[in-house]
Structure 1
Amino acid sequence: MQPIAHIWRNTGQSVRDFVADKRALAATEFAVIVPLMLVMFFGTIEFSSAVAVDRKVTMIARTLSDLTSQSTGVNDGDMQDTFTASISIVMPYDPTLVNGTVVQIKIDSSSVAKVQWSKSATIANGATQATLTAPPSSLAPGTTVTSMIPSTLLIPSTYLIFSQASYAYTPPVTFFLKSGITLSDVSYTRPRQVTCVSYNNVAC
């Protein structure tokens, strides 16, 4: 039988050797840290991409209303150019996923707001020009839209140019977001040069 002192010496040496041996430490740290780093990496990609697209959607909505409000009158050709230029802001992201709408709203003397004219547009795959489409039923001409107008803009006997843009966003990685979401924004401006912007020479 080995002396107790010898056993303690061997045990102590084994413990010291175990503590000093760091060969598996790096592998353990790597196994613990890598999943967290991957989550952060893919999460950052998805978040930054969504933020970039969302900002472009805001710019599209503002550009649509701004360009229209600077006109004295517009027609189908003018609106097609306006939509083409505005939707193209989303590049290098896919412009075919953008839908834009421009509306002129008349606020009568009783502060009731109604759609006077409205147009929507998209850019088809492979096309260089926007294609005009029918607006959503909620923004069809003659529709009352008083509830959607901010109270500070609901001024009797005035006109508003309203625009909205939306983008069917699908994350490139689908790590956190497993399905697409719709990013959208709206903008309001007043006609700049005239009381109201006529469409196809139809008087306001």
Structure 2
Amino acid sequence: MKRKIRTWRRLRRIAVCLIRDRSGIAAIEFAFIVPLMLLLFFGVVEITSGISAYRKVTIMAHTLSDLTSQSASVQDSDLNNFFCASGAIMSPYVTMPNPCPPAPTAVKQSIAELWVNSSLQARVQWAKNSDGSTPAAAGTVVNIPASLQVANTYIIYSSIMYTYVPTVGYVMNKSGVTLSDFAYTRPRQSQCVQYDAPTTNPCPQN
């Protein structure tokens, strides 16, 4: 009987010691917190980098339209140089070819001139894509902001599309997120920017 009592007391002391032992709490708490910490860390890194890439896309769109609007007329060689100049803005997200042109294929650039007719419809006069794909056909209607709907005027319209692929892909889609933006500017040197035509020709009105 005494042996049973001693055994019970010893077991009770061991149980009390285990209950009072706090040496493993930090490890257990760390195991619970680590996944949340990793989620916050990689989430901040990926989202911050994505915002930075989107900012570059926006600047790139404005740069492309601004460079084009400063010319009275452009040729393919001019537009290819504009694509390269604006494409350099995407560094380090996009690797620039050497030499350039051709423009980097990781980002798709499109430049076009629009004619706003008397019905306030903006129609494509000419267009070119940086990747050599078929651009919008002449006469295609493009939706523009109401503030730009001024009859019998021309607008330089640029659009940019880039797929941002996160380095880790812990929070964002591993296959990438498509970032796009566009910009409008008015021709600065003349009424319109003529494409692949002598500057003495009248501005087209498709």
TM-score, shorter chain, exceeding 0.5: yes
Matches of 1:41 and 1:113 in 2, distance apart? 46
Counterpart in 1 of 2:178?
Answer: 182
SS of structure 1 residue aligned to 2:85? helix
For 1:173, the aligned partner's letter is V
1:118/1:135 contact within 8 Å kept: no
Q: Which runs of 4+ in 1 moved over 3 A?
A: 10-15, 17-20
Quote the offset at 1:135 in angstroms: 4.2
Matches of 1:75 and 1:104 in 2, distance apart? 13
Indicate the percent of aligned positions where both proteins have the same amino acid: 46
| Superposition pairs of residues 5-44 of structure 1, within 5 angstroms | 15=16, 17-18=17-18, 20-44=20-44
Quote the offset at 1:170 in angstroms: 1.8
Quote the offset at 1:113 in angstroms: 1.7
Quote the offset at 1:19 in angstroms: 5.5
Counterpart in 2 of 1:109?
Answer: 118
Matches of 1:135 and 1:20 in 2, distance apart? 75
Taking structure 2 as the reference length, the TM-score comes to: 0.81
Quote the offset at 1:89 in angstroms: 0.5
SS of structure 1 residue aligned to 2:141? coil
Gaps of 5+ in 1: 123-132
Matches of 1:112 and 1:180 in 2, distance apart? 35
SS of structure 1 residue aligned to 2:63? helix
For 2:109, the aligned partner's letter is G
1:33-57 deviation line (CA, Å, top 9, x unaligned): 1111111122122212211111111
Taking structure 1 as the reference length, the TM-score comes to: 0.81
- Which of 188, 194, 197 pairs up with 1:198? 194
- Which of 139, 143, 154 pairs up with 1:142? 139
SS of structure 1 residue aligned to 2:150? coil
SS of structure 2 residue aligned to 1:168? strand
SS of structure 1 residue aligned to 2:130? strand
Quote the offset at 1:178 in angstroms: 3.5
**Segment drifting more, 19-28 vs 189-198:** 19-28
- Which of 153, 163, 171 pairs up with 1:168? 163
For 2:82, the aligned partner's letter is T
Quote the offset at 1:82 in angstroms: 0.5
Gaps of 5+ in 2: 3-7, 96-104
Matches of 2:134 and 2:61 in 1, distance apart? 15
1:101/1:135 contact within 8 Å kept: no
* Count of equivalent residues: 186
Matches of 2:177 and 2:26 in 1, distance apart? 40
Counterpart in 2 of 1:50?
Answer: 50
Matches of 1:97 and 1:48 in 2, distance apart? 20
Counterpart in 2 of 1:71?
Answer: 71
Matches of 1:12 and 1:169 in 2, distance apart? 61
SS of structure 1 residue aligned to 2:86? helix
Matches of 1:26 and 1:48 in 2, distance apart? 31
SS of structure 2 residue aligned to 1:184? strand
Matches of 2:161 and 2:175 in 1, distance apart? 16
